[in-house]
Structure 1
Amino acid sequence: MQPLRPLRSTDPREIAGYVLHGRLGEGGQGTVFFGTSPAGVKVAVKLLHDGFGSGSEMRRFFDRELAALQRVAPFCTARVLAADPGADPPYVVSEYVEGPSVLQAVRERGVLRGADLDRLAIATATALGAIHAAGVVHRDFKPANVLLAADGPRVIDFGIARPLDASSATVSGAVGTPAYMAPEQLSGDPAGPPMDMFAWGCTIAFAANGRPPFGHEQLPAVIYRIMHAEPDLGALGGRLREYVAACLAKDPARRPSAQQVLLGLMEDRPGGAGSPYLMTPPRPMAPPQPQGAVSTPPPGRKDTTRPGQERARTVVRSVVVVAAAAALVVAAVFVTTNLGRGSGPTPSPTPSTATTPAASAAGQLSRTPRLGLEVWQDGAASPLSLSDLDRPVTTVAMKRSPFELRFPTLKKDEALQVCAWTDDSVFSITDGGKVADHPCFRPGTGIADYEYGSGRLYLNNEGHNYLVGTRVSHQSDTQDKVFVSRFFRDKADTAVADQRQDVYLTVFRDLDGDGTFKRAGEGEYEYVILHFPT
């Protein structure tokens, strides 16, 4: 049985007659529970978060996703048994697939070889072919989302799948798990089935070698390799190695389709005619390069590593901080720290003054003063400046690229609550105030599109980022982290590379567990300004 986490006190115990027994996973759209039918049949119940209200854009995405799921051939996925998009909240009940994931199997039993590896490759290519034929892009194909059932591999977790006929905003963007994400996905370009084929190549390489082809070290290093370096295919050999390499081409137009992979692998037998794709590829394959070499885009090809076109300069309005600890007029991913002084209202630096010489002269530091937060981009820590020594507000000089938030290791089941805004909302925290009274920090509420430390940052006070458990990843024995590649605000999804406004963060960590905000002594929250060049 897949790993099962216990139900939380706020979780339902029954949905539409199905009894829930534990949590299987959670993502930005909802939570998946393990349950049983009245007849004792095992099921997976997907329950949408409260943020997916009636008539919302995300609810429409859910309706499209459900229709898309029902178009996919049932032999390769978990069958939908019941669903109610109009329920409050909406739910989907699907077949529970018994068996370990490829990730779990490789970790517990070792890598796959010979016929087992070939069977996995052919079955998953078949599944992706059926998924794409139904007009769907999975968008998070990876070892954890392929289950080794008794009747063959099954592809699961369409939590971020989107129909191909949805708007471009719903089929593009860096949503997924970084080690298995295609270059166009990381750069925020429109993405389609070739993105899944890139992830297929990464998954088969992992099954054969026990590691992703672009490594699993610090995320900036992995992202750099995906964008620029050749994959490490290790023990893969023969025709399968050729197809995996073809699927890992930087240019999506050069990757074979699922059907081409399937036909080619099935012809890889004694006396077979060979693969028509590898013999006459639709576009010339890039010549192999030494491991670690930088890949140069061919003539005429769009460089997917380049950020989006420059937008008009954003006029940033003033920000005022009110109340005992300071109230930012805009934004705030709340990072908890352990230093603070006094009380009383104090104005906060506005975006226009945050980077002035007077502000930066207050002090340079390597991490925020209370919670010890660090911001990393491109494999290096970003420079920080302390703009107010008495009531610290930290400004981070940002590049237009994905970044990591690093912080001291969270205790078991402890959450880091992150709220973020741009320049047109008002936010205040009162020292000693109750966390449950604030809409952004109320425990157990909000949504977070994070899994194993990767995802998007929600810029409003309803869909806040409640980071706990698998929503963070471990950097070291003393430090956890989350990876941020996109911002989501007012139904718009923006790549970090396209961000043209400062982002204001307020981060909270309930160190003493009393459910109130503390600024003095071991401060529990912190203001951070992510300053993007205009």
Structure 2
Amino acid sequence: MQEGADESSWWAPHTPDHWVGPRGDPDRYRVLGTAAAGGEGRLLRGELDLDGNPIPVAIKILHDDQEDLGEWERRWTRQTEILRTVSHPSLVGVREVFVGADPHLRGDPPSTGNRLYLVMNWAAGERLDMWAKGRPAVEVIAVLGALAEAVDYLHSGRGSNGVGVIHRDIKPANVIVSAGRPILVDFGFARFVQGADETVVVYSRSFAAPEVVRGDPPDPSSDRFAFAASAVSVLTGLVPSRSSTPEVSQALADAGVPQALAAHLLATLVADPRLRPPDLAPWYTPVDAAPVPITPPPPEVPTAAAHSPSTVMRSPADP
């Protein structure tokens, strides 16, 4: 299991005078700083110069195991070809994947230390959990509704040549609200619905579905669970895995969430993935909609044994 990482074991830029890029163009991206760091790797903030126009980008370190770097590159090249076709206003755009040297001074790439990089468009805005604080429920629900539609779109394969995509790490920190619109970012752990040969299980403890925590392969249902857990968190301040169903239900009611939507969120948080609703977006109704009785009461929300907001990576065979 990997949870957290030693910042000193990797490069952390102090000046904007470092660059990364593929083998044939090692100075393609200027690195402006480290946007995030943790057990899930490093996310760099950078820019791409296009005819004198700096384009902001996010650069994620995907893999640095030299023994199987080639296989990871082939796998991610195939995935990136699909992800680049996804075009949705609430899904961050994926630009390219490449193997390149460590961040370096311009014109001086090191001959060793190759890593696998994923480059995405930079989403400027505020994290969903920070943006939602103090806002009325009707405003937060509108943003969650747009995000729900984007997650359904991602799973459907409508924008990816018929191949559904699982994000695998939906959480408030991976949603940026920009001009009132949510943008789901960080496709560094994304996998296709069909044909994923999982060797590593990735999850964020506070938002992961129980089957993912057990080490089972993820599927669209586990993404929907993570979405519902994130929605409850930003609407009420509760983490569902730490709370009972009555507590979550009461908190949603206190926040002004319509009963129909509250029932759908609770149903999406059940432990058995086969019992979860097959989609998210159709249930998002205005806060002032007529109340709908919840019958029968929803099953209990599963409670995890341990909790942490960090992302965890482990092999399914790990204890």
Tell me the TM-score normalised to structure 2 length: 0.72
Q: Corresponding residue for 1:51? A: 65
Q: Which blocks of at least 5 consecutive residues in structure 1 are unaligned?
A: 216-221, 280-284, 296-304, 306-377, 380-403, 405-450, 457-485, 497-534
Distance across 1 between alignment mates of 2:311 and 2:62? 20
2:221 is aligned, of 194, 204, 213, to 194
Contact 2:233/2:240 (CA < 8 Å) preserved in 1? Answer: yes
- The number of residues matched between the two structures is 277
Q: Corresponding residue for 1:85? A: 98
Contact 2:205/2:309 (CA < 8 Å) preserved in 1? Answer: no
Residue 103 in structure 1 maps to residue 137 in structure 2? no
Alignment of 1:199-278 (within 5 A): 199-215=226-242, 232-233=248-249, 234-236=251-253, 237-238=257-258, 239-258=260-279, 261-265=280-284
Alignment of 1:269-418 (within 5 A): 287-288=297-298
Distance across 2 between alignment mates of 1:123 and 1:24? 25
- Deviation for aligned residue 1:206: 0.8
1:69 is aligned, of 83, 88, 95, to 83
- Deviation for aligned residue 1:56: 4.2
Name the structure where helix makes up a greater proportion of residues: 2
Contact 1:205/1:211 (CA < 8 Å) preserved in 2? Answer: yes
Distance across 2 between alignment mates of 1:188 and 1:49? 20
- Deviation for aligned residue 1:240: 1.8
Three-state SS of the structure 1 residue aligned to 2:58 is strand
- Deviation for aligned residue 1:73: 2.6
Alignment of 1:116-155 (within 5 A): 116-134=139-157, 135-150=164-179, 152-155=181-184
2:12 is aligned, of 2, 7, 24, to 7
Q: Which has the higher contact order (CA 8 A, sep 6+)?
A: 2
Contact 1:79/1:94 (CA < 8 Å) preserved in 2? Answer: yes
* CA distance 1:29–1:201, change in 2 (3 Å): closer
* CA distance 1:62–1:25, change in 2 (3 Å): farther
Residue 114 in structure 1 maps to residue 140 in structure 2? no
Q: Corresponding residue for 1:338? A: none
Distance across 2 between alignment mates of 1:55 and 1:453? 25
Contact 1:111/1:207 (CA < 8 Å) preserved in 2? Answer: no
- Deviation for aligned residue 1:120: 1.8
- Deviation for aligned residue 1:248: 0.7
Contact 1:73/1:131 (CA < 8 Å) preserved in 2? Answer: no
* CA distance 1:141–1:268, change in 2 (3 Å): same
Alignment of 1:426-441 (within 5 A): none
- Deviation for aligned residue 1:231: 6.3
Distance across 2 between alignment mates of 1:65 and 1:11? 30
* CA distance 1:53–1:100, change in 2 (3 Å): farther
Tell me the TM-score normalised to structure 1 length: 0.45
- Deviation for aligned residue 1:75: 1.6
Amino acid at match of 1:232: V
Alignment of 1:441-460 (within 5 A): 453-456=310-313
Q: Corresponding residue for 1:36? A: 47
Contact 1:24/1:34 (CA < 8 Å) preserved in 2? Answer: yes
- Deviation for aligned residue 1:15: 2.2
Distance across 2 between alignment mates of 1:494 and 1:31? 25
- Deviation for aligned residue 1:255: 1.2
2:317 is aligned, of 480, 490, 494, to 494
Q: Which blocks of at least 5 consecutive residues in structure 2 are unaligned?
A: 1-6, 22-27, 101-113, 158-163
* CA distance 1:264–1:84, change in 2 (3 Å): closer
- Deviation for aligned residue 1:266: 5.0
Three-state SS of the structure 2 residue aligned to 1:72 is coil
Task: Please list every run of at least 4 consecutive aligned residues from structure 1 whose deviation after the TM superposition is greater than 6 angstroms.
Answer: 9-12
Q: CA deviation digits over 1:294-333, x for unaligned, max 9? A: 89xxxxxxxxx9xxxxxxxxxxxxxxxxxxxxxxxxxxxx
